[in-house]
């Protein structure tokens, strides 16, 4: 079953998310006044966030997307990622804001920053909706804008998924452990 029955608790309500996104948009609009930043989002998790954020920003912006995939036997620990969709825009000389749904270990964000920095943007910073610093392995990330600090629990909703489910929930919730255990069991 997918939906609220699988949610242990609602961590962030739709209203809390909307209010914080509006605050982040005001800060970005102020800080980038006179410049037209390129917002880069990673598919698929950050799509809801970047959509709402971009609509609330009051200065001219451009928007582009990348897609990556983890691979290897332990992608969460190895940090091994592969680019599967690159940018449509050239970013040399542009002010780039990488928009993430969640920063956890920092390994994926670090990979993306290295990839983007090699293309010589005028500036490069991060805006993340969720930050889980307790799991951070890579500490030196230029996180300029943070929505919420979150606990080390399995979160879904507002773009975050579990096996491609739950992204469309309007809130961010904690997935029940029983759901994780049930899908981890081998069939038969």
Report the distance separating Cα 163 and Cα 179, nearest Å.
Answer: 11
Helix (H) or strand (E) holding 85, with range, is: strand 81-85
**Which of the residues are catalytic?**
104
Shortest CA distance to 124 belongs to which of 100, 96, 93? 96
Strand, helix or coil for residue 63: strand
Q: What residues have CB less than 8 Å from 129, skipping those under 6 apart? A: 17, 20, 21, 46, 49, 100, 101, 102, 147, 148, 158
Helix (H) or strand (E) holding 188, with range, is: none
Which own/partner contact pairs does 70-77 have at CB distance under 8 Å and 24+ positions apart?
A: 70/108, 76/105
Q: What is the CA radius of gyration of the chain?
A: 17
């Amino acid at each position: 079953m997918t939906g609220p029955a699988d949610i242990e608790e609602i961590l962030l309500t739709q209203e809390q998310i909307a209010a914080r996104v509006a605050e982040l948009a005001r800060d970005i609009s102020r800080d980038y006044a006179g410049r037209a930043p390129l917002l880069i989002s990673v598919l698929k998790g950050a799509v809801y966030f970047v959509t709402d954020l971009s609509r609330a920003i009051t200065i001219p912006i451009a928007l582009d997307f990348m897609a990556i995939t983890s691979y290897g036997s332990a992608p969460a620990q190895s940090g091994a990622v592969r680019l599967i969709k690159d940018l449509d825009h050239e970013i040399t000389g542009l002010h780039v804001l990488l928009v993430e749904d969640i920063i956890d270990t920092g390994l994926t964000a670090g990979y993306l920053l290295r990839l983007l920095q090699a293309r010589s943007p005028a500036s490069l910073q991060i805006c993340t909706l969720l930050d889980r610093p307790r799991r951070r392995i890579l500490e030196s990330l230029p996180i300029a804008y943070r929505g919420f600090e979150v606990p080390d629990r399995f979160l879904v909703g507002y773009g975050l998924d579990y096996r491609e489910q739950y992204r469309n929930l309007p809130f961010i919730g904690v997935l029940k452990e029983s759901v994780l255990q049930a899908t981890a069991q081998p069939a038969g």
